[in-house]
Chain A
Amino acid sequence: MSEPILSVRGLEAWYGRIQALFGLDFEVAAGGVTTLLGANGAGKTTTLRALSGMIQTSGDILLADTPIRGKATEDIVRLGVAHVPEGRGTFTAMTVEENLQLGAMTRRDTGGIAEDIDRIYDYFPRLAERRRQQAGTLSGGEQQMLAISRALMLRPRLMLLDEPSFGLAPLIVEELFAILRRLKDEQGLSMLVVEQNASMALDLADEAYLMETGKLIMSGPAQQIGSDENVRRAYLGY
C-alpha cells in the first residue's frame, strides 16, 4: 500500500457534551478509495464533519504530513480536502456555472479554472446543458453530480463523499459510481466514501471500515469484507 494521504489516529468528536466518535483509527491511501460503512446513526457523517473541522474533536488527523485537526473548515479546504456534504450543499438560487465557480473559490488561475469547467462538462454533459439554469431546479441525481463537480473544481488531494447515493434511483446511482471509478482510475483521485449502499461502495473501494455507534468495529480490503457472508448478513444487510 502506498503512502497514506489521510491518516487518522484516536479521533474522538463531540456534539456539545455528547460524545459521538470513540477513538477512530483509519487511513486513506494516496490514489486509493476507502469506504466507511454502517447503519444510520453509526457516526459516518460525523466522521466526515470531524475531518473537515466542523465539530469539536480530539486526536490526530494528518493530511499527508500536515496536521489538520483543530483548523478552521476554510483552511482545511484550502489544503485540498473537498467535502461533498450530506444533502449535497447546492447553492440552489445560483446557476450551475456559478456553483462550479464557487468550487474554485480558493484558486487564482483563471485559465485553469475555465479548462476544469470544460473538463467537468465533458464528464457530465447534462450539467453543460443546464449551465445557466438555477441549480435548485436540477434533479437529485444532477445535483449530486453538481456537488461532486463543485468539489472537483478545488483540484482536491482528497475528496470526502457523504452518501452520494442518497435518495437517488438505482440507475442514477450506478451512473454516479461509474463516474467515481473513472475519477479514481483516470485521475488517481483519493476518496473517502461514506455509504449505506454497501455493495456499490465496496465495489469502488480498496479498503473498507465498518462503523457502529461511533466506533470502528472491523476493517480490511473491500473485496474481503464484501465477500464475508457473516459480515454481509450482520452489518451490510444484503
Chain B
Amino acid sequence: MELFLHQVLAGLATGGIYACMALAIVMIYQAIHHLNLAQGEMAMFSTFIAWQLIEWGLPYWIAFFLTIAISFVAGIVIERTVFKPLHGAPVLAHIVIFIALFAILNSAAGFIWEFTIKTFPTPFGSRSLLGDGLISAHHAGMIGVTLVVLVLLFLFFRHTRIGLAMRAAAVNPESARLVGVRVGWMIALGWGMAAAIGAVAGMLIAPVVFLEPNMMLSILLYGFAGAVVGGLTSPGGAVVGGFTVGVIENLAGTFIPYVGQELKLTIALALIVVVLMFKPTGLFGTRLVTRV
C-alpha cells in the first residue's frame, strides 16, 4: 500500500510536468491547429538559459522568473518571425518547420552548452516529506508549482479581458476580428505563454532527469499523450490527461511485470493509440452543444 501511494504521488509530480507540456501543446494547437513538435526543445533551451543564469551567480528564483520572461518573449518572436508568415500553409510545411526548429534548438543547445549531462539545482531540497519518505521535497515542490501555474492560467482565461479575447480568437477568429480582437497578436501571445509554461516544466523536471539537450524528448511524448487523452481542444482536459498519464506511467512501471523503467514510454504511445481509436476527441474534448 505504501509503495502504491508513493508511486501515485511520484506519478502526480511528473504528471504535473506532463500537464504543463500538454497545456502548452494545446494552447498552440488551439491557435494554429498544428502540433508543436518543437515544444520540448523550446523548454529544454529555456532550462539551459536558467542553468546559465544560475552559473553566472543569480539566485535560483530570480533565474527562474527571468527565464520565464525570456521564454515568453522568445515564444512571441518565434511566432512573429517564423509562423506568422506561414499562416495558411499546408500541414506538411508546418511539420517541416517544426522539425527544423527542433533540430536547430537541439543542436544549438549542444553547441553552446555541450552534450554532457549537467545537474540542475532544486530550490526545494531533496529531503523526504510526510514521515517515512512518501514523497520527496522536490516532488512536492513540483506538484505545488504546477498547481500554482495551472490556477493562475485558469483565472487568466476565465476572468481577464485578454484571456477572453484569446479564447475567442482560438475558437472563432473571424467573429473575434469582428468585435475588434487583434487575432494575430492573440496567437503570438499564445506562443509566448506556451513557451513560458514549457520553461517552468523544463526547470522543474531538470533536477530529476538531468540537464542535457535530449532531456525533453520523452517528456514531450508523455505531454502529447496527456493532450490526446484529455482532448486537444480542451485545456482543462489536457491538464487532467497529463496528470493521468503521469500516474499510469508510474504505476505500470512498478506493478506490471516486464514493463519496468525501460518500457514505460511505450505506455504513453499505447495510450495515444487507444484513445485515438476509441475516443478521437479525447476524454474531455467533447463536441459542442449547438442548435440551429
Q: How far is the CA of A74 from the CA of B171 in the complex (A)?
A: 17
Closest to A80 in B: B180
A219 within 8 A of partner (CB): no
A23 within 8 A of partner (CB): no
Chain B residues with Cβ below 8 Å from A98 are 164
Chain B residues with Cβ below 8 Å from A102 are 164-165, 168, 176, 179, 181
- Decide: B174 and A89 in contact? CB cutoff 8 A: yes
Q: How far is the CA of A215 from the CA of B233 in the complex (A)?
A: 43
B290 within 8 A of partner (CB): yes
Chain A residues with Cβ below 8 Å from B182 are 74
- Decide: A78 and B178 in contact? CB cutoff 8 A: no
Chain B residues with Cβ below 8 Å from A106 are 179-180
Count chain A residues whose beta carbon lies closer than 8 angstroms to a beta carbon of B: 32
| A185 smallest CB distance to B (angstroms) | 26
- Decide: B289 and A136 in contact? CB cutoff 8 A: yes
Given the known inter-chain contacts A101-B161, A102-B164, please indicate yes or no for A52 contacting B292, CB distance below 8 A: no
One digit per residue, 1 when the CB lies within 8 angstroms of any chain A CB and 0 when it does not, for chain B 252-292 equals 00000000000000000000000000000000000011111
Chain B residues with Cβ below 8 Å from A74 are 177, 180-183
One digit per residue, 1 when the CB lies within 8 angstroms of any chain B CB and 0 when it does not, for chain A 70-97 equals 0011100110001101000111111000
Chain A residues with Cβ below 8 Å from B172 are 89, 91
- Decide: B180 and A105 in contact? CB cutoff 8 A: yes
Residues of chain B in range 149-180 having any CB-CB distance to chain A below 8 Å: 161, 164-165, 167-168, 171-172, 174-180
Q: How far is the CA of A72 from the CA of B183 in the complex (A)?
A: 11
- Decide: B178 and A92 in contact? CB cutoff 8 A: no
- Decide: A154 and B289 in contact? CB cutoff 8 A: no
- Decide: B168 and A94 in contact? CB cutoff 8 A: yes
Of B168, B177, B292, which contacts A91 at CB under 8 A? B168
Q: How far is the CA of A73 from the CA of B172 in the complex (A)?
A: 14
- Decide: A140 and B291 in contact? CB cutoff 8 A: yes
Given the known inter-chain contacts A74-B183, A106-B179, A154-B180, please indicate yes or no for A137 contacting B167, CB distance below 8 A: no
- Decide: B288 and A73 in contact? CB cutoff 8 A: no
Of B165, B183, B292, which contacts A167 at CB under 8 A? B292
Chain A residues with Cβ below 8 Å from B183 are 74
Chain A residues with Cβ below 8 Å from B175 are 85, 89-91
Of B167, B174, B290, which contacts A92 at CB under 8 A? B290
Closest to A167 in B: B292
Q: How far is the CA of A83 from the CA of B179 in the complex (A)?
A: 8
- Decide: A134 and B168 in contact? CB cutoff 8 A: no
One digit per residue, 1 when the CB lies within 8 angstroms of any chain B CB and 0 when it does not, for chain A 142-184 equals 0000000010011000000000000100000000000000000
- Decide: B177 and A92 in contact? CB cutoff 8 A: no
- Decide: B291 and A134 in contact? CB cutoff 8 A: no
Chain B residues with Cβ below 8 Å from A52 are 178
Given the known inter-chain contacts A98-B164, A101-B164, A137-B289, please indicate yes or no for A93 contacting B180, CB distance below 8 A: no
| A149 smallest CB distance to B (angstroms) | 12
One digit per residue, 1 when the CB lies within 8 angstroms of any chain B CB and 0 when it does not, for chain A 100-111 equals 011101100000
A227 within 8 A of partner (CB): no
A139 within 8 A of partner (CB): yes
| A164 smallest CB distance to B (angstroms) | 15
Q: How far is the CA of A78 from the CA of B181 in the complex (A)?
A: 9
Of B165, B288, B289, which contacts A105 at CB under 8 A? B165
A64 within 8 A of partner (CB): no
Q: How far is the CA of A3 from the CA of B291 in the complex (A)?
A: 42
A20 within 8 A of partner (CB): no
Of A89, A136, A139, A140, which contacts B178 at CB under 8 A? A89
What is the interface of chain B, defined by CB distance below 8 A to chain A? 161, 164-165, 167-168, 171-172, 174-183, 288-292
Q: Pull 23 A–B residue pairs with CB atoms less than 8 Å apart, ordered by A.
A: A73-B178, A74-B181, A77-B179, A78-B180, A85-B178, A89-B174, A89-B178, A90-B175, A91-B168, A91-B171, A93-B171, A94-B168, A101-B164, A102-B168, A102-B181, A103-B179, A105-B164, A106-B179, A138-B291, A140-B291, A153-B179, A154-B179, A154-B180
Question: Beyond the given A89-B172, A94-B171, A102-B168, could you list 4 further A-B residue pairs with CB under 8 A, ordered by the A residue number?
Answer: A77-B179, A77-B180, A85-B174, A138-B291
